[in-house]
Amino acid sequence: MARKHLHEDHINHEAWAIPYGDLLTLLLAFFVVMYSVSSLNEGKYRVASSSLNAAFGGRTTSVLPVNVGDIPAQSSSAASTDPGIHQAMPTALIASRINSQLPVDARARWAEENGVDAETEAEQKQLAETARQMEETLSSLILNDQVSVYRQDDWIEVDIKADALFASGSAAPRDAALPVLQQIAGVLRGNHHLLRIEGHTDSQPIRTLQYPSNWELSAARASSVVRLFTQQGIDPGLMQVVGYGDTQPIADNATGAGRTANRRVVLVVSTRPASDIAATGANPAEPNPTAPAPPSDASGVAR
């Protein structure tokens, strides 16, 4: 009788699948738990998103928490035609709107998470109000392209064309410029903001006994503004005079319109020292001068 051949048991090479499946199950459970306990910091997300959009040239948007019933509903057509909806919203405005809708404890927590203390928030609020008053006071000059106002969270820049303030080759304010400077002083007086007054000229050289170069002319014009502001009650300890001459043009000096834009007096109003603002390398948008510059006189006097 033939003996039955016994087959050897084969080794199971798929035994790894069972612990591998257990490991995947544990990992899935771990990530589910981690996701459930995590929370998104919406404040930091909004600030980071706005900064990235601005850095890449896109429009910034801000999403704010709104309680139902606080703001009346707008029609879709009105919302789509409002140009302010897609404009960048300053951090101070975001903070003020969020604070108006959050309880006290939540406000403190939001401010702490976003690095905005109560003092800084109050300063930015006051600076925003100063910018609003400045734009309202100088509205006619802004419309005539004689003045430009730029806003940031910590500073305001008021760019005034020198031709609106001074005669050619002179650092004495025109009679028509005195009311304008007095109105500006009225807005700034009592706010205790730091104020830097900058004088700028075009590249045309000046050759007079009083002003041997554009350095002296630009510094003298800035000093004239400071002198008038001091007479109007602004603390001189808060002001700084800088004469840049023709070293910081914002337009092409080869054209009349460019020279007109470069002849300017700039007021930088800030909540922090001027050296900090200079260190940031802030460069606001360049104005768009359209009025041609009058020809210079025979002596080549820069205006």
Kindly state whether residue 35 falls inside one of the protein's structural domains: no
Edge to edge, the sheet with strand 264-270 lists 147-151, 155-161, 264-270, 194-200, 239-245
Kindly state whether residue 166 falls inside one of the protein's structural domains: yes
Give pLDDT, residue 221: 94
Least reliable range by pLDDT among 143-147, 149-153, 285-289 = 285-289
Range of the domain at 167: 126-303
Q: Are residues 103 and 237 in the same domain?
A: no
Whole-number Å distance between alpha carbons of 141 and 175: 16
Give pLDDT, residue 272: 66
pLDDT digits (tens, 9 = 90+) for 181-195: 999 999 988 788 899
> Do 201 and 211 touch, CB atoms closer than 8 A?
no
> Do 259 and 293 touch, CB atoms closer than 8 A?
yes
Whole-number Å distance between alpha carbons of 166 and 145: 16
Give yes or no for residue 286 having a pLDDT over 60.
no
Q: Are residues 99 and 186 in the same domain?
A: no
Kindly state whether residue 2 falls inside one of the protein's structural domains: no
- Confidence grade of residue 47 (pLDDT, cut at 50, 70, 90): low
Domain count, the chain: 2
Q: Are residues 167 and 47 in the same domain?
A: no
Q: Are residues 150 and 288 in the same domain?
A: yes
Kindly state whether residue 7 falls inside one of the protein's structural domains: no
Please provide the size of the chain in residues.
303
Kindly state whether residue 12 falls inside one of the protein's structural domains: no
Helix ranges (DSSP H) in 38-174: 42-55, 76-81, 91-101, 104-113, 118-137, 139-143
> Do 245 and 201 touch, CB atoms closer than 8 A?
yes
Kindly state whether residue 200 falls inside one of the protein's structural domains: yes
Q: Are residues 281 and 140 in the same domain?
A: yes
Q: Residue-wise over 44-53: b if at least 16 C-beta within 10 A, else e?
A: eebbeebeee
Q: Are residues 145 and 270 in the same domain?
A: yes
Q: Are residues 139 and 91 in the same domain?
A: no
Q: Are residues 103 and 231 in the same domain?
A: no
Q: Could you tell me the two tokens for 95?
A: 């903070």
Q: Are residues 141 and 258 in the same domain?
A: yes
Q: Are residues 283 and 142 in the same domain?
A: yes
Give yes or no for residue 5 having a pLDDT over 80.
no
As a whole number, mean pLDDT of residues 71-76 equals 42
Give the domain CATH number at 251.
Answer: 3.30.1330.60
Other CB atoms within 10 Å distance of the CB of residue 13: 7
Kindly state whether residue 30 falls inside one of the protein's structural domains: no
Q: Are residues 109 and 169 in the same domain?
A: no
Other CB atoms within 10 Å distance of the CB of residue 15: 9
- Calculated CA dihedral for residues 152, 56, 86, 116, nearest 10 degrees: -40
pLDDT digits (tens, 9 = 90+) for 201-244: 999 998 888 999 999 999 999 999 999 999 999 999 999 999 99
SS3 state at 88: coil
Kindly state whether residue 239 falls inside one of the protein's structural domains: yes
Residues of the chain above pLDDT 70, percent: 58
Q: Are residues 225 and 92 in the same domain?
A: no
Strands 155-161 and 147-151: antiparallel
> Which of 208 and 295 is assigned the larger pLDDT?
208
